[in-house]
Amino acid sequence: MDHREALIAASTNRSNPSEAAPGIEVKGLSLTYPEEPNALTDINLSIPGGEVTAVIGPSGCGKSTLLRCFNRMNDMLEGCSYSGSIILNGLDVLDPATDVTALRRRVGMVFQQPNPFPMSIYENVAYGPRIGGVRRRRELDEVVESALRLAALWDEVKDQMNRNAIVLSLGQQQRLVIARAIAVRPEVLLMDEPASSLDPISTLRIEELIYELKQSYTIVIVTHNMQQAARVSDRTAFLNQGRVVEYDSTDKIFTNPAERATEDYITGRYG
Amino acid sequence: MSGDLQRMRYSIESVRAREEKLGAVMSAMTAVATLLALLSVVMFLGFLIFLGGDWLANAQSATSGVDQPVKSNFEVLLWGGAELAVSGGVFPAIVGTIVLTLVMTVIVSPLGIVVALYLTEYAGTGWHTRLLRIGIQNMAAIPSIIYGVFGLAFFVYVIGGRLDNLFFAGNLPNPTFGAPGLLWASLTLAILTLPTVIVATEEGLLRLPLALREGSRALGATRSETIFRVVLPAATPSIMTGIILAVARAAGEVAPLMLVGVVRYAPTLPVSVEAPFIHLEQKFMHLGFFVYDLTMHAPGSEGRVGIVAASGLLLVLVIATLNLAALLLRLRLRRTFLRTGFE
pLDDT tens string A114-142: 999 988 899 999 999 999 888 899 999 99
CB B219 to CB A71 under 8 A? Answer: no
CB contact under 8 A, B215 and A102: no
pLDDT on residue B300: 62
C-alpha distance from residue A89 to each of A21, A25, A26, A48 (Å)? 9, 9, 12, 11
Alpha-carbon dihedral B82, B88, B89, B93, rounded to 10 degrees: -150
Q: What's at B299, amino acid-wise?
A: P
Q: Is pLDDT of A231 > 70?
A: yes
Domain of A106, in residue numbers? 3-15+49-72+100-266
Count how many Cα atoms sit within 13 Å of the Cα of residue B102 in the half-sphere of its side chain.
13
Question: Across the interface, which of B209, B220, B341 has its CB nearest the CB of A131?
Answer: B220
- Residue B320 has what pLDDT? 85
The alpha carbon of residue A81 is apart from the nearest alpha carbon of chain B, in Å, by 19
Does residue A156 surpass a pLDDT of 70? yes
Q: If you measure CA to CA, which chain B residue comes closest to A130?
A: B221
Residue A95 falls inside a structural domain:
no
Cα–Cα distance measured from residue B255 to residue B185, given in angstroms and rounded to the nearest whole number:
11
The closest alpha carbon to A169, from A199, A145, A190, belongs to: A199
Helices (H), A49-120: 63-70, 100-106
Do residue A73 and residue B338 have CB atoms under 8 angstroms apart? no
Structural domain total, chain A = 1
Q: Does residue A17 have a pLDDT over 60?
A: no
- In chain B, which residues have their Cβ closer than 8 Å to the Cβ of A102? 220
Q: For residue B195, which of B142, B236, B127 has the smallest C-alpha distance?
A: B142
A47-56, B17-26, B79-88, B334-343: least confidently modelled range: B334-343
pLDDT at B340: 37
Percent with pLDDT over 90 in chain B: 24
Q: How confident is the model at residue B339 (pLDDT cuts 50, 70, 90)?
A: very low
Q: In whole angstroms, how large is the CA radius of gyration of chain B?
A: 27
Residue B29 to residue B35: CA distance in whole angstroms: 10
Any domain includes A140? yes
Q: Distance from B337 to chain A by nearest Cα, in Å?
A: 6
Cβ atoms of residues A224 and A45 within 8 Å: no
Cα distances from B125 to residues A76, B80, B120, in angstroms, run: 14, 56, 9
Strands (E), chain A: 24-33, 36-47, 52-56, 81-88, 91-92, 107-110, 188-192, 218-222, 235-240, 243-249
State the sign of the Cα–Cα–Cα–Cα dihedral B140, B142, B143, B146. negative
CB B235 within 8 A of CB B204: yes
DSSP strand pairing (A235-240 vs A243-249): antiparallel
Are the C-beta atoms of residues B79 and B91 closer than 8 Å to each other? yes
In a domain, residue A81? The reply is no
In percent, how much of chain B has pLDDT > 70?
87
Residues of A in contact with B222 (CB under 8 A): 101
B 289-318 residues with CB below 8 A of A? none
Beta strand pairing call for A81-88 and A24-33: antiparallel
pLDDT computed for residue A129 by the predictor: 92
pLDDT at B39 over 60: yes
Q: Is B37 left (phi over 0), alpha (psi -120 to 50) or beta?
A: alpha
Q: What letter represents residue B188's amino acid?
A: T
- Give the pLDDT confidence score for residue B302 in this predicted structure: 60
CATH of the domain at A11: 3.40.50.300
User: Lowest-pLDDT range, A37-51, A57-71, B161-175?
Assistant: B161-175
| Contacts of B129-135 spanning 24+ positions with Cβ under 8 A | B133/B202
Kindly identify which residue of chain A lies nearest to residue B230, measuring between CA atoms.
Answer: A117
Q: Is residue A39 part of a domain?
A: no
pLDDT on residue A221 = 94
Q: What is the pLDDT of residues B118-139, one digit of tens each?
A: 998 888 778 888 899 899 988 8
If one compares B147 and B82, the residue with the highest pLDDT of the two is B147
What's the mean pLDDT in A247-259? 90
For chain A, give the mean pLDDT.
87
Residue B56: what pLDDT? 76
State the Cα–Cα distance between residues B80 and B5, nearest whole angstrom.
83
Smallest CA–CA distance from A166 into chain B, residue: B339
Average pLDDT (B38-67) is 75
Residue pLDDT, tens place only, B207-251:
888 889 999 999 999 988 999 899 988 888 888 889 888 988 888
Nearest to A115 among B211, B225, B337 (CB): B211
End-to-end CA distance of chain B: 55
Q: How far apart are CA A41 and CA B60, in angstroms?
A: 92
pLDDT beyond 80 at B61: no
Q: Looking at this predicted complex, what is its ipTM?
A: 0.87
Among A76, A98, A115, pick the best mutation site for testing chain B contact (most B Cβ within 10 A).
A115
The confidence score (pLDDT) of residue B164 equals 78
Cross-chain residue pair B209–A115, CB shorter than 8 Å: yes
Residue of B170, B197, B168, B196 lying closest to B181 (CA atoms)? B168
d(CA B256, CA A100): 51
> How many Å lie between the alpha carbon of B313 and the closest alpha carbon of chain A?
41
- Asked if B219 lies within 8 A of A184 by C-beta distance, the reply is yes
Cβ contact A127–B339 (<8 Å): no
Chain B hits for A116, Cβ within 8 Å: 215
- Is there a contact between A125 and A193 (Cβ–Cβ < 8 Å)? no
Query: Strand pairing partners for B205?
Result: none
Q: Residue B220 and residue A119: Cβ atoms within 8 Å?
A: no
Residue A9 lies in a domain: yes
- Residue B59 is predicted with a pLDDT of 55
> From the list A102, A166, A180, which residue is nearest B341 (CB)?
A166
Span A229-248, average pLDDT: 91
Distance from CA of A117 to the nearest CA of B (A): 7
Tell whether A124 is covered by a domain: yes
Residue-wise pLDDT for B134-174, tens only, equals: 999 888 888 989 999 999 989 888 888 788 778 777 766 77
Can you give B115-170 as a three-state secondary structure string? HHHHHHHHCCCCHHHHHHHHHHHHHCCCCHHHHHHHHHHHHHHHHHHHHHHHHCHH
Note whether residue A169 is domain-resident.
Answer: yes
Please check whether residue A226 lies inside any domain of the structure: yes
Least confident window among A211-220, B35-44, B58-67, B149-158: B58-67
Topology of the domain covering B75-342: MetI-like fold (1.10.3720)
Q: How far is B115 from chain A, CA to nearest CA, in Å? A: 22
